[in-house]
Amino acid sequence: MRRLLSYFKFLLFPFTLIYASILSLRNFMFDRGYLKSTSFDLPIISVGNISVGGTGKTPHTEYLIKLLQDKYHLASLSRGYKRESKGFVLANANSNSYDLGDEPMQMNRKFPKLNVAVDADRVNGVQELLASEKGLKLDCILLDDAYQHRYIKPGLSILLIDYNRPIATDLVMPMGRLRERAAGKKRADIIIMSKCPIDLSDSEAKKLKKSINPLPHQELYFTSLDYAPAEAVFNTSNKLVNLNTIEKEFLGVLLVTGIANPAPLRNHLKSLCDEFKEIKFPDHYTFKDKDIERIETSFINLKSENKIIITTEKDAVRFLDMKIESKVLKDNMAYIPLQIKFQDQTNVQFDQHIHDFVKNFKHNH
C-alpha cells in the first residue's frame, strides 16, 4: 500500500511542478509591480494561511473582532465559501448561511455590531462596503482567508501556520497541502503558529521559530485552541447534559462535524467520556434530512445514561438554517465554541501591535 501511495505521488509530481511554477510567476509579477495591488485609505487586516485545511482562521478572526469592536466600527469581508448567492452581499438580520456561507453567518449571529460582507472579488467587496450606507462609519476591515488574494494590499497581514502541518517540509498541491511555496510567508507582518499544545515548552518553541525563520520585521506568536463550555444549538435545549460535571464512565458523546479537521475536538471529547461515536461529513457540508435521521439513530443507540450530541459552532449555523423539527436534536444538540490562547501571555504584545496599527494608520492618513 505504501509503495502504491509513493507511486501515486510520483505521478502527481509534474502537476505540482507546473502549479508551483505558475504561482511563483504570479507572485513575481505582483512583487515587481507588473500586476497591480489596490490599497485603500483605511486600515485593512488580512488573516489567512498558506496551506489548505483548517488552521483556525475563524477563532483568530473572532479574537480580532472582540479586541477591536468596542473602540472601532468594523467590517469583515470573506469569499463566502459554498454560499448559494453570487457577487457582493452585505449581511442583515434576515441573512442565513445559504446567502453568506457558514463562517460569515456565524460571525453575523455572534457579533451584532459587526458589518459582515461576502464577495469573491475582495477589491470589489471593499469598494462596495465603502460605498454602502455603513461605509462612511467604518474604521477597519478584516479580510478573511485573503493571503493569496494579492490584487488587494492589506495594511497588516497575519499568516496562520498549523503546528501539526509544518510548511517547511510540505509541498505545493496536489502532492502536498501548500497553496503556494513556503517562501510566500515573507509577505506576512505577523506569523502565528496555531493549534500548538497547551504545554508547548520553551525549547520546542525555539526549534519551531528556527524552522519558520521569521524575517527581522516579522513577529512570531504561538497559540493554542481552548474549548469554552458547551452551548445549546437550539433555544429549546434546556435539558442538556453538562460535559464538565459528569464522570467519564457515565457519559456518552456523539460528535457530528462538517469541518476540515475535527481531530482536536475529537481528542478533547474523548478525554471527557468513555462512550464516543462520530459522524464525519466533508468540510462546509450541507446537511440533508436523511443525515438528521442518521444522527438521531446514532444518538439513540448510545448506551450511556447521560448522553449528548456535540457539533462545532460553524456546523451549528447550518443546522439552525435547516428549520429542524427533530425533538432528539433540539433537546440534545450542543456546540463547543472555540477560543484561542496565546502562549506565555504574549497576547499583550499582539494586542498592542493591532491597536497601534489601527490607531497609527488613521493618524497618518
Mean pLDDT of 105-113: 96
Band the pLDDT of 4: cuts 50, 70, 90.
low
Report the half-sphere exposure of 130 (CA within 13 A, side-chain side): 14
Given this model, what pLDDT does residue 355 score?
98
C-alpha separations of 3 from 171, 173, 339 in Å: 19, 20, 41
Band the pLDDT of 307: cuts 50, 70, 90.
very high
Q: Which of 225, 256, 249, 78 is nearest to 162 (CA)?
A: 225
What does DSSP assign to residue 178?
B
Burial of 348 (0-12, 13-18, 19+ CB in 10 A): exposed
Average confidence score pLDDT of the chain: 93
The contacts of residue 36 (CB under 8 Å, 6+ apart) are 151
Given this model, what pLDDT does residue 293 score?
97
Mean pLDDT of 215-243: 89
Can you tell me whether residue 196 is helix, strand or coil? Answer: coil
Can you tell me whether residue 312 is helix, strand or coil? Answer: strand
CATH architecture of structural domain 44-226+341-364 = 3-Layer(aba) Sandwich (3.40)
- pLDDT above 60 (res 297): yes
CA 154 to the chain's CA centroid: 18
Distance CA 355, CA 170 (A): 34
Annotated binding site: 51-58
Given this model, what pLDDT does residue 101 score?
95
Distance CA 207, CA 196 (A): 13
Annotated binding site for ATP: 51-58
Backbone phi and psi for residue 351, each to the nearest 5 degrees, phi listed first? -60, -45
**pLDDT tens digit string along 24-81?**
999 999 999 999 999 999 999 999 999 988 789 999 999 999 999 999 999 999 999 9
Given this model, what pLDDT does residue 323 score?
85
- pLDDT above 60 (res 298): yes
Given this model, what pLDDT does residue 67 score?
98
Edge-to-edge, what's the strand order for the sheet holding 251-257?
231-232, 333-336, 306-312, 251-257, 275-280
Burial of 148 (0-12, 13-18, 19+ CB in 10 A): middle
Q: Domain locations in the chain?
A: 44-226+341-364, 231-336
